Amino acid sequence: MHRVPNPPKLPVFALAETRSRGDIRAAKARLAAMLLACLAACASTTAEIRADDAAVSSATETTAHPTATGNIVVVGTSQSRADFIGEHAETIRRAAFSQLLGETHPKPWLVCCEIHVHESADSFEQAVGGSPAEARGATSLEFSGDRVVTRRIDVMGDGPGIVPDAIDHEVVHVVLADHFIHAAPPRWADEGLALLFDTPEKQRGHEADFQDARRRGLTWSVADLLALEDYPADGPRQKIFYGQSAALVRWLIARRDAATFIRFLDDAAQVGMEAALDRHYAITSLVSVSSAWKEVAPINTLGLSQRRR
């Protein structure tokens, strides 16, 4: 979804078709007068807006301008909090590039990632089109050829922590987009990888949802999970999807490592899921993957979520 605001529009004045130099001079004079009047009005309005903004900024300490940390731009919260969020997001960015993509010195983003912090559910829903009750973070990406041209994260910022609880998860989605530039990874893999960076508490919650669904026979078969192209429509099924996806990703990474898992995803896009499983994990059928539900790797297999917040 394209959410980058359109640039401000200035009034456009067009000369009517003229047939004499006198008419042209008169038209130009009228145009000049109109432009001067417009500029004077804009200057007056700008002064009023700046005065209002200064008053609001003084009262709420909310950043009037984005706070940038190199690859991250944070808006919608106080200056001090925005600085902290930006530095934290940079740390997660480096960790995700290093531990998932093997890039210890990732190139800087020419197009920064905007992080919009929302203090109200209405603000968040207006920005992303969905309630924070369903997900407290959302990522918007746009591509042009082999480049990412828009990176945007929206998160709820009403929690008790300085860093919004969905930041780490969403930053991982943005990092993965640099690798999967021409086609997104499968939904289960994309979410499963991002969940590795969630707090242990959130991961345990997803695991509990999955295990409860498994006991009640509500989980997907391996074939159906791997074939999912979009998120489940209803909230309870989404929770099961997150937990089951995370369990499968942890299980596969524990069998080899994160680098192998990424190569597996790359090959799966070319030769198919079953052939890629055989090539990278010596798994010859999808039926064998069902053992993942019995041998799920423990939370924090990679130790990715133990960070100061």
The pLDDT tens digits along the chain (309 residues) read 333 332 332 333 333 333 333 443 444 444 444 444 444 444 444 444 344 444 434 334 455 457 777 999 999 999 999 999 999 999 999 999 999 999 999 999 999 999 999 999 999 999 999 899 888 999 999 999 999 999 999 999 998 999 999 999 999 999 999 999 999 999 999 999 999 999 999 999 999 999 999 999 999 999 999 999 888 988 889 999 999 999 999 999 999 999 999 999 999 999 999 999 999 999 998 888 987 777 777 776 565 655 545
What pLDDT, on a 0 to 100 scale, did the predictor assign at position 296? 73
Closest CA to 204 of 215, 191, 195: 195
Q: What angle do CA 71, 183, 278 make, to 5 degrees?
A: 115
Q: How far apart are CA 218 and CA 221, in angstroms?
A: 9
pLDDT per position as a tens digit, 193-218: 999 999 999 999 999 999 999 999 99
What's the CATH number for 1-8+60-182?
3.40.30
What pLDDT, on a 0 to 100 scale, did the predictor assign at position 220? 94
What pLDDT, on a 0 to 100 scale, did the predictor assign at position 31? 40
Whole-model pTM: value is 0.77
> Where do the domains of the chain lie?
1-8+60-182, 184-309
What is the residue-wise DSSP string for the chain? ---SPPPPPPP---PPP--SHHHHHHHHHHHHHHHHHHHHHHHHHHHHHHHHHHHHHHHH-B-SS-EE-SSEEEESSBHHHHHHHHHHHHHHHHHHHHHHH--SSPPPPSSPEEEEEESSHHHHHHHHSS-TTT-SEEEEEEEETTEEEEEEEEEE--SSSSS-TTHHHHHHHHHHHHHS-SSPPPHHHHHHHHHTTS-HHHHHHHHHHHHHHHHTT-SPPHHHHHH--S--SSHHHHHHHHHHHHHHHHHHHHHS-HHHHHHHHHHHHHH-HHHHHHHHH---SHHHHGGGGTSPPPTTTT--S----
CB neighbours of 274 closer than 8 A, spacing ≥ 6? Answer: 284, 285, 286
User: Do the Cβ atoms of 239 and 263 come closer than 8 Å?
Assistant: no
pLDDT per position as a tens digit, 112-149: 999 999 999 999 999 999 899 888 999 999 999 999 99
